[in-house]
Structure 1
Amino acid sequence: MFQSARLKLTIWYVLISLVVSIIFSLTVYTLLARELQRNEQRLEGRLQLMRGLNPGFRPNFEMHRQDLALTESAVRWYLVYVNLFILLMTSAAGYLLAGRTLSPIKTMVDKQNQFVADASHELRTPLTALKTAVEVSLRDKNLDIKQAKEVLNANLEDVNRLVTLADELLILATLNTVKKQLLEELSLTQVIQDAIKSVKYLGKQKQVKIETTLSEISLVGDRERLLKMLVIFLDNAIKYSPAKSVIRVTAIKTDSKAQVSISDQGAGIGAKDLPHIFERFYRADKSRSKTKIEGYGLGLAIAKEILDLYKGTVAVESRPGQGTTFTIHLPLKIN
């Protein structure tokens, strides 16, 4: 599909260039032809004058007309050659330009197709589990109330996972523009504290302590999106931290940016996984923790989308067995 679109766009580039070139050539040829005719008339006038002054002078009008005709013919051929050269050049340049024009579109379409395929796969897994559980239960003639409740509880877990996936997909779909009406001057320090409160229960379950060193920082941003991003990073740190460990959160102001660091004492991330952790649906081959981590691999992708939207950046430092540090940089003002 991409190759076909590239060829079609190339043809349009060539046709437009060729039409412009032909119009320009016709204009040049018309002006030159008129100028040659005027020169011919002036030359004949001068020769007639010289003949009048010198009766013995015999000008060769036919030779001059042939010279002018040859000149006119040469101009025509030059213009033909120029147009052929332009045709060849625009064909090559048009093909390259079409490729560069369509390349971002192709990348976007490929990502979209991959996203749809991954989302379909992730949706299919819990749906298949639901369908299988219901079918098996319906066929079991000896199913009692206790077993039925167990099936319903398992189905409810699958439904909750589907709801979570749908919510995350919806967030990704709506993260396309900065909503100016939601921008406000706010305390990043307070947003960080609110994010910590949001994950407080999860931390208590694993007896993970969160230590903070926060400078007072104000910036312009969308509070809900910033809160969502910080909750994702904190939730991720808690999930992959061992029990009774410590997560350290620091926030400082550097020039025109705010820097937030979140460090955990988890198992770390392998070098082969680091370049991919912000990709949608990406999960490491080996879990960073000894226990199974629930999720679809969309959290960090959402956080990165929010950062990109607000011109922020994130750096990751991690080594297996030594924990992971996410360092976030946010501009204090959004242009």
Structure 2
Amino acid sequence: MSKNEHNDLVLESMHELRYFNQQLKNFSEQLCIDLNADKVDQNKVIDMKSHQADKLRNLAISIANLSQLFTTRIDFIDVELNPNVIEQLPIQKVNVYGKFDKAKKMLHSLSRKKKVKVQIKSDVKDSRIIEAYSIIDILPYLLLDNAVKYSPERNQVDIEFVYYDDCVQIEICSEGPFVGADEIKKLSDKHYRGRNALKIDGCVGRGLGLYFVEYIAELHDIDISYKSEKYQYEIDGVPYSNFAVSLRVPLQ
């Protein structure tokens, strides 16, 4: 890796880690507010209703999950610096549905802020287990984060699981900026962002999410494809259409 490539990796990694850290900060601050952390050392009992307690439990889970994402992202940096490191990463039993459900919960604050509903359709009784490297944790998160981030407000992201004997088929459908046929194959290129995505005010990115997704997918023999239907409407001059991500996860 050249010096310039090394510097780029540092900048890209810092961008991603800052993003995770901001979310962690938001969750932690909300937890402190809900727990009345300013009352420490005053010997006051925490008194709350059941729905408030559930909110705190969800915040605690989100903080723990984000901590795991930090670890996963750092593992990914190790792999980029030295591809041979992948052989040293732990292989774990992974519940495919569970990873997407966790990502959905981690993105709850973002989806609620944008008033975007994330819905998973699956026969959870038929959830499958695969063996995968630990960095697979970041794949569903990046895909759902992308879907929510680019979705117009008051819209919906649908994730559907279909189980076969040899694979799990997953389709993520959402509304997003129209992607031309000439751009589809470029979406997983490092630093590439669609021309219509660039037009959206306040929607920043470095074109790394789908690059990471493609890398992790190839590592696990997961087939992935993208499809953008003909655009249906415009918002602030940006054409939008239905965007679908299809994954075929092989079962051992």
Q: Pairwise CA RMSD of aligned residues?
A: 3.2
**Alignment match, 1:187:** 95
2:162 to 240, 249, 252: 252
Q: Quote the Cα distance in structure 2 between the aligned partners of 1:317 and 1:235.
A: 17
Aligned length: 182
Deviation at 1:227, TM superposition (A): 2.3
Unpaired segments ≥5 residues, structure 2 = 16-69, 232-239
Q: Quote the Cα distance in structure 2 between the aligned partners of 1:201 and 1:249.
A: 18
Q: Does 1:116 align with 2:36?
A: no
Q: Quote the Cα distance in structure 1 between the aligned partners of 2:181 and 2:98.
A: 34
The one-character-per-residue Cα deviations of 1:182-233 (angstroms, maximum 9, x if unpaired) are 3233321212111111111111110100111113321222374232100000
**Alignment match, 2:205:** 295
Calculate the TM-score normalised by the size of structure 2. 0.62
Is the contact made by 2:178 and 2:196 (CA closer than 8 Å) also made in structure 1?
no
The structure with the largest strand share of the pair is 2
Q: Quote the Cα distance in structure 2 between the aligned partners of 1:294 and 1:283.
A: 10
Is the contact made by 2:96 and 2:130 (CA closer than 8 Å) also made in structure 1?
no
Aligned pairs for 1:92-241 (under 5 A) are: 116=5, 119=8, 170=77, 173=80, 176=83, 179=87, 182-215=90-123, 216-222=126-132, 224-241=134-151
Q: Relative to 1, partners in 2 of residues 1:223 and 1:273: Cα closer, same or farther, differing over 3 Å?
A: same
1:285 to 190, 195, 212: 195
Q: Quote the Cα distance in structure 2 between the aligned partners of 1:276 and 1:324.
A: 15
Is the contact made by 1:277 and 1:300 (CA closer than 8 Å) also made in structure 2?
yes
Identity %: 18
Deviation at 1:292, TM superposition (A): 3.0
Q: Does 1:330 align with 2:249?
A: yes
SS of corresponding position for 2:207: coil
Unpaired segments ≥5 residues, structure 1 = 1-111, 127-162
The structure with the largest helix share of the pair is 1
Q: Quote the Cα distance in structure 1 between the aligned partners of 2:209 and 2:82.
A: 13
Deviation at 1:117, TM superposition (A): 8.9
SS of corresponding position for 2:160: strand
Q: Which amino acid aligns with 1:299?
A: G
Q: Does 1:312 align with 2:222?
A: yes
Is the contact made by 2:89 and 2:134 (CA closer than 8 Å) also made in structure 1?
no
Q: Which has the higher contact order (CA 8 A, sep 6+)?
A: 2
The one-character-per-residue Cα deviations of 1:16-59 (angstroms, maximum 9, x if unpaired) are xxxxxxxxxxxxxxxxxxxxxxxxxxxxxxxxxxxxxxxxxxxx
Is the contact made by 2:175 and 2:241 (CA closer than 8 Å) also made in structure 1?
yes
Q: Relative to 1, partners in 2 of residues 1:213 and 1:279: Cα closer, same or farther, differing over 3 Å?
A: same
Is the contact made by 2:187 and 2:210 (CA closer than 8 Å) also made in structure 1?
yes
Deviation at 1:241, TM superposition (A): 0.2
Is the contact made by 1:171 and 1:302 (CA closer than 8 Å) also made in structure 2?
no
Q: Which amino acid aligns with 2:189?
A: E
Q: Quote the Cα distance in structure 1 between the aligned partners of 2:179 and 2:103.
A: 23
Q: Relative to 1, partners in 2 of residues 1:268 and 1:172: Cα closer, same or farther, differing over 3 Å?
A: farther
SS of corresponding position for 2:177: coil
Is the contact made by 1:212 and 1:250 (CA closer than 8 Å) also made in structure 2?
yes
Deviation at 1:300, TM superposition (A): 0.7
Deviation at 1:294, TM superposition (A): 1.8
Deviation at 1:181, TM superposition (A): 6.7
Deviation at 1:286, TM superposition (A): 3.0
